[in-house]
């Protein structure tokens, strides 16, 4: 009755009659969002795990989906939690937050002998590699789970969890691990045979940074025993043995699937130059009230510096420092608003003024570390891809490469180079600046590309682009190596932790939402895929995981699509 009355009444008020075009667009967007959330709830289905357990955390899944590297997560006792709480600076966390923070801190390796010192040293010695979060984490036991056996991994107490490599068939494992201040590049066979790639008498530290599809070719860096030594790259081959790269070829970043091409970070630097370069990002280290900042200029001997700092106010203030007197408070009188930091001219003027006030020159405004990104072939011939370029991603099958170039007008710009095609900027979502692209993944064939920031992402394949729903946690998104499946996590109603698994078929654009893993219920959750996207891992860094096989019987017609 009411619907008939409404359609015939001349007094009915329609949104089109009272809203502007902008208001009407906002209303329709809100209605679409509400519909999306309703669809999410009705389309959620429970995947049946083929394996679910804790307190282990899945660190790596092989391309064929047959091998898992698991790290044991030890429970947080009252004693360890109290020790963490007493060492915290603020002590204001809620009890459940303190417990979660304690668990995360222990998982990261707080107090692990030798590990934090190593992380601090390598952050300075490896300016191109350690800047991507490749820090060592605690590894108090774990195992390599294969279809027919389980290989214990308990001979080291920390490892680089971001640089772990399985061969295509899951039969070779390469990683960087150590204990008590040592660090080794390791290769482990499916039978459990462990091999140090660099002899103890040749280097104090070594690490794995790249591997081909078969596990026959491995790249990494080593640090000789000399007190003045700096890292130097190497290639290890199963038949040809060890080759130390020229001094300027420092960090192999990627190796093609066939082992015939390597991407290498190249630069020439001694310890003093690396230390000064590191200071640019570390200062001001102990300035009262500072929540962060950086240096505009540092003297060549490292005894004078000028820079900026920010805190709780709406202003960025200057600072001047020297080794004799410390920080000079008068420099705080030089400041600009947070909004003006986006103005290149005003930002440059602030830096120049502070530089002169500190008695420094324009030459002191540069770290003088000149980096290059190289392609190196199997014969050792190199080609410079970019001067001042930073490695971001590589397609091991097609040999497509993503790196970060520097633009004076825009800052860091991600670039994409495919064989036989012109170099282009990495596609980005609408409303996201190129320099703000922090999520970038490239498929092994170079045809699919995921790009975005924490709030907004798109996946590009060929000429098609698909926007990822805003509600999906961007930092959990992962793409299958073949570029056809994308998964991530979707929040609960309170937006406090992941609640659903978001699944996207890139070719068709179909989306589905699956109920997440009951064995992983914390806030540090993420997902993993094998090469084809039909093996899925849902894991919690604080312990617990589920393993699924997503065949057509699960994701086929019997599962309602989210339209």
Instruction: Give the tens place of pLDDT for each residue, 408-434.
Output: 777 788 999 887 788 889 999 998 988
- 8 Å CB contact between 202 and 161: no
pLDDT of residue 55: 82
Q: Among residues 308, 319, 298, 274, which one has the least CA distance to residue 365?
A: 298
Reduced to 3 states (helix: H, G, I; strand: E, B; else coil), residue 529 is: strand
Residue 202 pairs in a beta bridge with none
Task: Tell me how far apart the alpha carbons of residues 212 and 122 are, in angstroms, rounded to a whole number.
Answer: 25
Q: Among residues 462, 380, 393, which one has the least CA distance to residue 421?
A: 462
Reduced to 3 states (helix: H, G, I; strand: E, B; else coil), residue 132 is: helix
Reduced to 3 states (helix: H, G, I; strand: E, B; else coil), residue 555 is: helix
Instruction: Give the tens place of pLDDT for each residue, 139-161.
Output: 989 999 999 999 999 999 999 99
Reduced to 3 states (helix: H, G, I; strand: E, B; else coil), residue 301 is: coil
- 8 Å CB contact between 218 and 206: no
Token pair 């970070």 is found at 265
Q: Where are the beta strands (DSSP E) in 444-496?
A: 448-452, 457-461, 464-467, 473-479, 485-491
Q: Please write down the HEC assignment for all residues of 178-191.
A: ECCCCEEEEEEECC
Query: Which residues of the chain fall below pLDDT 50?
Result: 1-13, 38-43, 77-110, 552-563
pLDDT of residue 92: 36
pTM here is 0.82
Those residues with Cβ within 8 angstroms of residue 275's Cβ, 6 or more apart along the chain or in another chain = 124, 302
pLDDT of residue 517: 79
DSSP state for residue 497 in the 8-state scheme: S
- 8 Å CB contact between 476 and 498: yes
pLDDT of residue 30: 60
| Pairing of the two strands 136-138 and 68-72 | unpaired
Contacts 24+ apart (CB under 8 A), 290-293: 293/319
């Amino acid at each position: 009755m009411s619907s008939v009355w409404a359609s015939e009444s001349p007094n009915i008020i329609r949104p089109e009659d009272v809203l502007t075009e902008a208001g009407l667009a906002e209303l329709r967007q809100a209605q679409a969002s509400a519909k999306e959330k309703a669809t999410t709830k009705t389309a959620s289905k429970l995947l049946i795990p083929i394996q679910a357990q804790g307190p282990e955390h899945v660190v790596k899944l092989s391309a064929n989906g047959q091998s898992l590297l698991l790290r044991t997560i030890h429970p947080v006792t009252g004693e360890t939690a109290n020790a963490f709480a007493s060492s915290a600076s603020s002590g204001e966390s809620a009890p459940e937050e303190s417990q979660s923070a304690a668990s995360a801190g222990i998982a990261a390796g707080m107090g692990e002998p030798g590990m934090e010192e190593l992380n601090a040293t390598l952050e300075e010695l490896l300016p191109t590699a350690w800047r991507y979060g490749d820090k060592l984490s605690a590894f108090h036991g774990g195992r390599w789970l294969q279809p027919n056996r389980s290989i214990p991994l308990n001979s080291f107490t920390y490892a680089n969890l971001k640089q772990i490599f399985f061969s295509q068939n899951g039969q070779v494992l390469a990683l960087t691990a150590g204990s008590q201040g040592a660090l080794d590049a390791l290769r482990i066979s499916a039978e459990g045979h462990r091999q140090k790639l660099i002899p103890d008498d040749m280097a104090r530290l070594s690490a794995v940074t790249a591997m081909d599809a078969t596990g026959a070719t491995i790249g990494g860096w080593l640090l000789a025993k000399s007190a003045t030594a700096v890292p130097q790259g190497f290639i290890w081959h199963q038949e040809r043995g060890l080759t130390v790269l020229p001094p300027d070829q420092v960090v192999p970043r990627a190796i093609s699937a066939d082992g015939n091409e390597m991407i290498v970070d190249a630069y020439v630097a001694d310890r003093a130059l690396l230390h000064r370069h590191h200071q640019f990002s570390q200062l001001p280290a102990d300035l009262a009230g500072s929540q962060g900042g950086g240096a505009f200029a540092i003297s060549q001997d490292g005894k004078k510096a000028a820079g900026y700092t920010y805190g709780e106010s709406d202003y960025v203030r200057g600072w001047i420092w020297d080794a004799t007197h410390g920080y000079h408070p008068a420099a705080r009188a030089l400041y600009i608003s947070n909004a003006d930091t986006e103005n290149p001219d005003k930002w440059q003027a602030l830096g120049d003024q502070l530089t002169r006030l500190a008695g420094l020159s324009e030459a002191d405004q540069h770290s003088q570390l000149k980096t290059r990104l190289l392609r190196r072939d199997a014969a050792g011939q190199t080609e410079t891809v970019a001067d001042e370029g930073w490695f971001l991603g590589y397609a091991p099958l097609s040999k497509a490469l993503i790196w970060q170039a520097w633009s004076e007008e825009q800052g860091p710009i991600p670039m994409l180079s495919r064989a036989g095609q012109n170099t282009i900027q990495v596609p980005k979502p609408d409303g996201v600046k190129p320099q703000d692209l922090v999520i970038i993944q490239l498929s092994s064939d170079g045809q699919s590309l995921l790009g975005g920031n924490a709030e907004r992402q798109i996946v590009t394949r060929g000429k098609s682009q698909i926007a990822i729903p805003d509600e999906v946690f961007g930092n959990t998104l992962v793409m299958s190596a073949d570029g056809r499946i994308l998964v991530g996590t979707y929040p609960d109603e309170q937006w406090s932790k992941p609640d659903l698994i978001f699944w996207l078929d890139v070719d068709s654009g179909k989306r589905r939402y699956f109920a997440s893993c009951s064995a992983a219920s914390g806030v540090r959750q993420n997902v993993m895929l094998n090469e084809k996207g039909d093996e899925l891992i849902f894991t919690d860094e604080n312990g617990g995981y589920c393993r699924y096989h997503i065949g057509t019987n699960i994701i086929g017609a019997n599962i309602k699509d989210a339209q």
